[in-house]
Amino acid sequence: MPVEWQKSSFSGIDAENCLELAHHKGRILLRESDTPDMVVTAAPARLHTLLLAIKTGQKPTRTP
């Protein structure tokens, strides 16, 4: 089954450099549209922890 990528709403309609996300086999996939062959994968809980730490300006803690 092919991966279905979704463009970030923050990228705008005509933006060429977009962050794209996908959910595949229990993992979150991230890539930039201008380098689609380079994909970062993360477990949803760990990505959530990282994003929360970035938003609050705190150091991320490890999740099990």
- 5-42 residue pLDDT tens: 988 777 666 667 788 999 999 999 999 888 889 999 99
Quick one: residue 25, left, alpha or beta (phi over 0 = left, psi -120 to 50 = alpha)? left
Q: What is the pLDDT of residue 38?
A: 94
Tokens of 28: 């979150």
Q: Say whether 11 sits in a helix, a strand or coil.
A: helix
Q: With 80 as the cut, is the pLDDT of residue 64 above it?
A: no
Q: Which of 56, 12, 63, 58 is nearest to 42 (CA)?
A: 63
* Residue scoring higher pLDDT (56 or 64): 56
Q: What is the pLDDT of residue 31?
A: 92
Q: What is the pLDDT of residue 12?
A: 66
Environment class of 34 (CB within 10 Å of its CB; exposed 0-12, middle 13-18, buried 19+): exposed
